[in-house]
Structure 1
Amino acid sequence: MELPRHNSEYKNQSYWDTRFASEESYDWLAKYSDVADLITKYVPKDSRLLIVGCGNSTFSIDLYDAGYTNIVNLDFSSVVIERMSAKYSESRRLMKWAVGDMLKLPEFFESNSFDVVIDKAAMDALMVEGGDTWSPAEHLLASAHEMCSGIKKVLTPTGLFLQISFGQPHFRKRFLLGEYPQGDESSAYGWTYKYHNIEIGLGYFFYVMQKK
């Protein structure tokens, strides 16, 4: 695994293109088996799924093998999409692979295209600059808003946004609810918010945003 010289490089497409050119597979934070019970609880098998920032993780492969076959995998690295498509298109024929920016989802997908959007450490990669976690920089808040706004648009009216993250709830909640939340409901995105602990490694979080 090629580590960046500075954490901020995790935001750069060039870093990922270089890394993905030689790396076969890597799973950030959690594998499917670590959250399978939570996925089963919230996601019906016939759901239309979008995985944002899919990378070379086997997460969507394991989802497919568990019966979730209607999956679109999205990443801004054409290198990894080409490699993953070449590797899995024959064995998982129903799954799709697409190059695109998760901050501009409405440019790639129509409204109401998906029942579920899953982010496993993708937003985390946007937040790697450090700084004051209690008062995040405006451009980080803007990126999170762009991402959540796009997810809101491509989800169905009762769609679900799931996020697996190392971001602690008292920090991440601000990014997932946007401005002027009402308790655990987002006026900006029209979804409710809750989370589960993932008791592995350093301890991670499974966020559940349900459109009302």
Structure 2
Amino acid sequence: MGSSDEENERLAHPEFWDQRYAQAEGDRPTHEWFRNFVELESFFDRRLFKTRSPDTNPTLLHLGSGDSDVPVGLWEKGYKDQLCVDFSTIVVDLMSKKHYSMEGIKWKHADVRHLDDLPEKSIDVAFDKGTLDAMIHGSPWNPPDNVKDNTSQYIREVKRVLKDDGVFLYVTYRQPHFIRPLLGCEGTDWEIDMDILGDGSSSFAYHGFILTKRS
């Protein structure tokens, strides 16, 4: 694994992403890592549009939003209460300027492991595409301590800010049997559902996890 794992480890640090986003050109996202809004629309249709339609005005939190087109896609569907957080100040600045006219989406600098400005039980829908993935490196069978520490802090924060009837939607390219133990870290008690998100053009499947608090 050598260098590729060293590269993976860099993904957990804002400096890597600052450098990446600083290379942005015009309207092209520099790093829609996987699955843009159009490719996720059927997942959102089942797990968001049908259960929390825009007219219920849910508060959406995008965790590690980067320069993804998902918030804008949801805004165009009518979701006008969205907060996008990222630990790269460069991408927060970039997206704030690019979409300044879109009332109802805010971009903010924050570390998803410490969402200190967000009150407990204030979010209806939390969404992650690849942010948890970027915290993971090393052996998937026996993750290093810093992976377990970082992911646990993060998942517990998501649970803290989520309303009792809220939902955490998480899209990953990693294998479910490696992800489930990280999602079910100490201090959480999720009901976990999962959709397989095939893309039709290849046999490679992504997975969409749907996490709710046990009543």
Hey, what's the Cα distance between the residues in 2 that align with 1:176 and 1:194? 12
Counterpart pick for 2:172 among 165, 173, 191:
165
Unaligned runs of 5+ in 2: none
- Calculate the TM-score normalised by the size of structure 2: 0.86
Task: Give the 5 Å matches for 1:120-159.
Answer: 120-127=129-136, 129-130=137-138, 132-159=139-166
Hey, what's the Cα distance between the residues in 2 that align with 1:51 and 1:123? 12
- Find the counterpart in structure 1 of residue 113 from structure 2: 103
Hey, what's the Cα distance between the residues in 1 that align with 2:125 and 2:133? 19
Does the CA contact (< 8 Å) of 1:29 and 1:204 recur in 2? no
Counterpart pick for 2:46 among 41, 44, 50:
41
CA pair 37-31 structure 1, distance change in 2 beyond 3 A: same
- Find the counterpart in structure 1 of residue 36 from structure 2: 31
Hey, what's the Cα distance between the residues in 2 that align with 1:76 and 1:68? 23
Deviations 1:141-200 (A, max 9, x none): 111110111001101011111101011111100001114xxxxxxxx3232012111102
Hey, what's the Cα distance between the residues in 2 that align with 1:137 and 1:19? 25
Does the CA contact (< 8 Å) of 1:120 and 1:163 recur in 2? yes
Task: Give the 5 Å matches for 1:1-212.
Answer: 6-23=7-24, 24-25=28-29, 26-43=31-48, 44=52, 45=54, 46-90=57-101, 92-105=102-115, 107-127=116-136, 129-130=137-138, 132-179=139-186, 188-200=187-199, 202-212=204-214
Amino acid at match of 1:207: F
How many correspondences in the alignment? 198
Amino acid at match of 1:95: I
Amino acid at match of 2:18: D
Runs of 4+ aligned structure 1 residues displaced above 6 Å come to: none
> 1:22 is paired with a residue of what secondary structure?
coil
Does the CA contact (< 8 Å) of 1:177 and 1:193 recur in 2? no
CA pair 4-20 structure 1, distance change in 2 beyond 3 A: farther
Per-residue deviation at 1:40?
A: 2.5
Does the CA contact (< 8 Å) of 1:48 and 1:116 recur in 2? yes
Deviations 1:9-57 (A, max 9, x none): 1112111111111224131221122222221222212211000100011
- Calculate the TM-score normalised by the size of structure 1: 0.88
Hey, what's the Cα distance between the residues in 1 that align with 2:73 and 2:164? 27
Does the CA contact (< 8 Å) of 2:43 and 2:197 recur in 1? no
Does the CA contact (< 8 Å) of 2:63 and 2:86 recur in 1? yes
Amino acid at match of 1:205: H
Percent of matched pairs sharing the same residue? 25
Deviations 1:86-123 (A, max 9, x none): 00011x11111110000112x12011111010000001
